[in-house]
Amino acid sequence: MEKLMHRLSQNNIRAFKARDRQEAREIALSLIPPGALVGMGNSLTLRETGIYDSLVTGGYSLINQFETGISPGENLRRRKQGMLADVYFTGANAITMSGELVNIDGKGNRTAAMMFGPDRVVVVAGRNKIVEDVEKAWDRLREYTAPALAKKLGRATPCARSGVCTDCNSPERICRCYTVIRGQMPADRDRITVILVDEDFGI
């Protein structure tokens, strides 16, 4: 993890290491300035670390598109609003040992916000998300992450049934946007913070 933290720093991405979910949650919440408007992307890691619950119940100015009972239109409005939040929380699908953040997304609001918009982006990732390089990241995402996620979400895709990606054209296809963040501009140094947790989280 030390080597990866160094590579992230070379890419102008700040990195912290956390022993466990509790320390990860403490670091994550400490990165929210007083009064900040907080957005978030969909992430099993945020839920499993308890960060999601802390954001919902902690008295933050949270843009929560996951609130039950809101209309599809309100959900979309909040996703857009999240892209201009002061701080944006998300997980990562894979992080390479060269310090690159590799992600897939359906609509793309999460991956877009990671690249541009929010003043700060906080990425929380378990050790299981670390891969050797971008090629291995795509292998992991195509062969494991996307099929497992489609199954968990109950999507009507071939991979949800078989566990194998067929590069489908299903209306419920979940992997439509693919991004690699190789780093930030020097002027944007530390805009993205990655919290690497020494536990496994998410898919």
Q: Is 159 in the site for ligand SF4 (CB under 6 A)?
A: yes
> Apex CA 97: angle with CA 55 and CA 133, to 5°?
110
Strand order across the beta sheet in which 101-105 lies: 130-131, 94-96, 101-105, 177-181
Residues across the chain: 203
CA–CA distance, 95 with 201 (Å, rounded to integer): 13
Q: In this complex, which beta carbon is closest to ligand SF4, that of residue 69 or of residue 171?
A: 171
Residue 62 three-state SS:
strand
The verdict on 174 binding ligand SF4 (CB under 6 A) reads yes
- Nearer to ligand SF4 (CB atom), residue 113 or residue 174: 174
Q: How far is the CB of 96 from ligand SF4 (least distance, A)?
A: 20
Q: In this chain, which stretch among 19-27, 45-53, 172-180, 195-203 interacts with ligand SF4, using CB under 6 A?
A: 172-180
Burial grade of 46 (CB within 10 A; 0-12, 13-18, 19 or more): buried
If one asks whether residue 157 binds ligand SF4 (CB under 6 A), the answer comes out as yes
| Shorter beta-carbon distance to ligand SF4: residue 26 or 135 | 135
Q: Which residues bind ligand SF4 (CB under 6 A)?
A: 146-147, 150, 157-159, 165-168, 170, 173-175
